[in-house]
Amino acid sequence: MQEFQNIESLVDAIYDAAGDAERWPHFLSGAARLLDSESAQIGHIDLQDRSFSFLITYGTTFTEERIRQYQALMPEDPRLAYMTERPFLPAHCRMVLTDEELHSSRLYREVLAPDGIEYTLGVNLVEETKSTTFFTAHRGLHQPVFGTEECQLLGELVPHLRRALRLYHVFAAMDLQHTAARDALDQIPLGVFIVRPDGEFVFGNRMAGELLAAGADLRLLDGKLGAATPETTRVIRAALMNVMSEPETEPQALVLERPAQLPLRVLVSPIGGVPLGQTLVRQKGDLAAIYVNDPTRAREAPWERLQHMFGLFPSEAKLVAEMVSGASVVDAGAKLGLTAGSSRQYLKNVLSKTGTHSQSELLLLVMKSPVWMS
């Protein structure tokens, strides 16, 4: 009965790890105890380029040098070849080779023995020829060889490990998409706040965090996005309710006045949801995005990007960068050591190269370009 309880708890640990990679060591420690092993590991190997895409260990820590040593000797590892050819079937190393064969190998002398690994029990968890996802447990020289009983115990875990790893890869792909989306939002030179209809703050990009940290204009009030004054807070909340009250509602633009400063320019937009029943997290129409432009925050356009994006000479790109930051053409040129006449000539050249006809048209073109992403 105790053995069944151990396996049952291990199955729970397996599915915990599927959703949280930091839980794999917890499973590995339990698996090592169940199999009376000193260490255990789970990982994925690309057999073509001999590299690990991930490796999580318990009971031993492999240095980068040890991993490189193993990768170099991977073609000489009969254990790996045996498991790869027999997916889902647990096996121990003495089913593959004798003590003498193992001890005479470079793999044993240079990798296994230095880490105290004498016996290995493992299983290949995927049916592929170009890669393998594996679980292995290890014993030292002072312990007995693995046998049929341990293979059977590991066999009970195999179906759960296979399912958990499939989930793990799905979650990892979702996490990658989420991280990439967040990083992309952080490059936008606007504050982006994701909120619920009542203003409850869900998350924001880097600029949103900076605006909240400043605390002068926007702030969180009991976890909800608000402003410096109750009146401005009511304006924001009313816009949220308006855009989220009816399907297909157009975004609403706001100008939030500030004393002695240029106003904040805001766009409140509903975020398209997913059909009801496809998620347990939220329903359609449950979130909105609030985009905030603070014109008092310096926005610098790196001149190198302007140069390559619009085909400008470095001096021309530097002039445009200063103008975008708010300087007049003469003042921008003066910062670069140019005379007023040279500055105007440079601007004329830039207008010709960009196909624009005025300074305002040029600045609008630059402002609409992706040069701001950082």
Looking at 293, 325, 360, the residue that finishes a domain is: 293
Looking at 158, 177, 196, the residue that finishes a domain is: 177
pLDDT at 4: 37
Number of domains in the chain: 3
Q: Are 112 and 85 in contact (CB under 8 A)?
A: no
Please list the ranges in the chain whose pLDDT falls under 70.
1-5, 247, 272-285, 298-300, 372-374
Please report whether residue 20 resides in a domain: yes
pLDDT at 2: 43
pLDDT at 130: 83
Are residues 163 and 67 part of one domain?
Answer: yes
Are residues 283 and 219 part of one domain?
Answer: yes
pLDDT at 336: 93
Q: Are 46 and 134 in contact (CB under 8 A)?
A: no
Please report whether residue 212 resides in a domain: yes
CATH number at residue 232: 3.30.450.20
**Quick count: other Cβ atoms within 10 Å of Cβ 345?**
14
Query: What is the C-alpha separation between 242 and 235, in angstroms, rounded?
Result: 11
Residue 220's SS3 state is strand
Are residues 152 and 19 part of one domain?
Answer: yes
Please report whether residue 298 resides in a domain: no
Are residues 363 and 234 part of one domain?
Answer: no
pLDDT at 3: 44
**Model pTM?**
0.65
pLDDT at 88: 94
Are residues 142 and 69 part of one domain?
Answer: yes
Are residues 96 and 33 part of one domain?
Answer: yes
Each residue's pLDDT tens digit, 67-101:
888 888 888 888 888 888 899 999 999 998 899 99
Q: Which residue range forms the structural domain that includes residue 199?
A: 188-293
pLDDT at 84: 86
pLDDT at 299: 64
Please report whether residue 261 resides in a domain: yes
Please report whether residue 21 resides in a domain: yes
Are residues 84 and 35 part of one domain?
Answer: yes
β-pair partners for 191: 292
Residue 9's SS3 state is helix
Query: What is the C-alpha separation between 364 and 374, in angstroms, rounded?
Result: 19
CATH number at residue 111: 3.30.450.80
pLDDT at 300: 66
CATH number at residue 363: 1.10.10.10
Query: What is the C-alpha separation between 63 and 48, in angstroms, rounded?
Result: 22
